[in-house]
Structures are given as C-alpha cells and as structure tokens.
Amino acid sequence: MPAGMQLPQEAARLWTDPAQRDRIVALHAAGTPLVEMCEQLGLGEILDRDGLRGILESLSADEVTAIREAFVAEAEATPGPGANFPVDCRVDNTEGGVRVIARPADRNAVGPIARIEPA
C-alpha cells in the first residue's frame, strides 16, 4: 500500500460509525488540531507509520478549513448511516508536501469534497 494511504482508510472506517462521525464533527467544531484529532481517535500510530504527522502540521489555515468544511458538510448532508468519507487522499510520497483542493461544501454533496494530493 502506498505511503499515506493507511490513515485515510482507517479514518474512513471510523467515519462509517455514526457515533464516531459525531465525535469527529465535534472535534472539527472545537477547532482541534488535526494531529491531536488523530491522536484522540486512536490513529496516532498510523499517522506516524504513514509519515503524515509533519504534513498535517504544515497545512495552511485555509487548507485545514477546507478539510473541516468538507467533514461538516457531508455529516449534515447525510446524517446517520451511509455518509460518504468527504476526503480523497492520494499521497504516495510525503517528501514533497501536499495540496488540498476544496470543492464547494454543498449540502447535497456526495463525497469526496476535499482532495489531498502531492504538491
């Protein structure tokens, strides 16, 4: 599996559980830093294994906002079971950094609505 792919897959698995989804949305609403969110969700080991800790820490405020808006918009669009994971993360090489491409946070969006790809 390419570097950077285990974290999004495990986060997507957590997202399928409505209780975990509510927790993730609450963490976003509280402005919890993304790395801290991963730690609180039990994803810290995978974050380090994938080499994504530094990347998450270096995201701009606008990029973090785009990610937060994607999660909140999808949770609002599809409450309960069946919500799509709102981020498409394709990072095969963490050395060059990433860019976050935001799509409009639309109430009727079917994820993903934020894409993370190599810079």
Tens-place pLDDT, residues 49-95: 888 898 899 999 999 998 998 888 888 877 777 778 888 777 777 77
pLDDT in tens, 7-24: 888 999 999 999 999 999
Length of the chain: 119
CA angle 6, 46, 8 (to 5 degrees): 35
User: What number of other Cβ atoms are within 10 A of residue 103's Cβ?
Assistant: 17
